[in-house]
Amino acid sequence: MEKMVNICKAENVLSLVDAAHSIGHETGINLAEVSPDFWVSSCSKWLYVKRGCALLYVAPRNHSMIQQDLTPSMIIPDEKYSRFQAEFFWSGSTDVVTLMTVRPGEIMFGTSVRQQANIDRKEIALEFRQFLGGEQRIVNYCHSLAVQGGRRLAEILGTEIMCSTGEDPLELVGCMINVALPLPEGLMRAPDVLHNLDEGLLESKVY
């Protein structure tokens, strides 16, 4: 990501990083250091959070570019809350329960809101991940499962896992892995291939 963002900076274009699988999957991310213009990641994929919750990072230099479509929230900018924070604070029409599964509710919404939602601290994603051993342990475990599962599936299909050709074949494998399908050599990639694949899955009752 850092190299791509630097290329964008060199070409004087804005960078928007679609990091859907990043949070909870990729460790050692420092957005302040890499400084993309915009960065978005889904919390429901690897962070153990309910669907509908995501993170949007906007570099401070771009805060003036992003505006809230709805009526401003009940928070007024002051020493504690910047204009950007205040504009996107809870507007009263949003269900905050999903957001509060990321971290303790009192940090973002006030103790009273969290108490009304009746959320147990043990259910909060970030604390649960610490209970499991922390980010690196979770990623190592998921990576190991992906590699073992990929190799087993490749063995069953009579194909191979699709890895890097560098010194470390698994250097680009995170918690997901690609396995080659047993397609005939020379078969062109076309809509018919995907159609036949979908039909085969349905016939095998794989949904």
Domain ranges of the chain: 1-66, 97-132, 133-203
List strand residue ranges (DSSP E) for the chain, in order.
16-18, 38-42, 54-58, 161-162, 178-179
Q: Measuring CA to CA, which residue among 42, 35, 39, 38 is closest to residue 2?
A: 35
What is the dihedral sign for C-alpha 44, 49, 51, 54? Answer: negative
| pLDDT (tens place) for every residue of the chain, 207 residues total | 899 999 999 999 999 999 999 988 888 889 999 999 999 999 888 888 877 788 899 999 999 888 776 655 565 667 777 778 777 766 655 666 676 677 654 444 444 344 444 444 445 778 888 888 999 999 999 999 999 999 999 999 999 999 877 778 887 788 999 999 888 777 666 777 778 888 888 888 876
Please enumerate in sequence order all residues whose Cβ is within 8 A of that of 99, keeping only pairs 6 or more positions apart, or say none: 53, 108, 109
**Which pLDDT tens digit goes with each residue over 157-178?**
999 999 877 778 887 788 999 9
Give the integer Cα–Cα distance in Å for 127 and 130.
5
**pTM of the predicted structure, to 2 decimals:** 0.62
Q: Measuring CA to CA, which residue among 175, 182, 183 is closest to residue 150?
A: 175
Provide the pairing of β-strand 16-18 with 38-42. parallel
How confident is the model at residue 103, as a pLDDT?
62
